[in-house]
Amino acid sequence: MINNYEIVSLIPAKEYSSGLNNKNFKKINGLSLFEIATIASKKSKLIDCTYLSSDSKKILSISKKYKVSLIKRPKIYCNKGKVDWTFKYEEI
């Protein structure tokens, strides 16, 4: 918490990436990209709460072990350039 504000981390992780194929499932030192981001967020002393948003059942399932708040994102909000709409949807 900084100046009485809760600091929240939001990690968007789509099942299918448009640039690098399957980038969220690529392993670096045995961990996928979304796992690396999740662990870094959880370790941060500045972040109070971590959310992971995905349309992938596999990503959401793997992320359960990190004890983060999970958001099942509808595929309609997973198109390229839809990040702003995703946040507006999930704020409801």
* Vertex 19 angle, CA 16 and 25, to 5°: 45
Per-residue confidence band for 14, with pLDDT thresholds at 50, 70 and 90: confident
Average pLDDT for 38-54? 94
Which percentage of the chain shows pLDDT scores above 70?
82
The predicted structure's pLDDT at residue 16: 79
Q: Which residues contact 51 (CB under 8 A, 6 or more apart)?
A: 8, 9, 10, 11, 68, 69, 70, 71
Instruction: Report the b/e string of 49-67 with b at 16+ CB within 10 A.
Output: ebbbbbbbeebbebbeeee
92 has a pLDDT exceeding 50: no
As its CATH architecture, domain 8-91 has Alpha-Beta Complex (3.90)
Average pLDDT for 8-25? 83
- The pTM of the full predicted model, rounded to 2 decimals, is 0.78
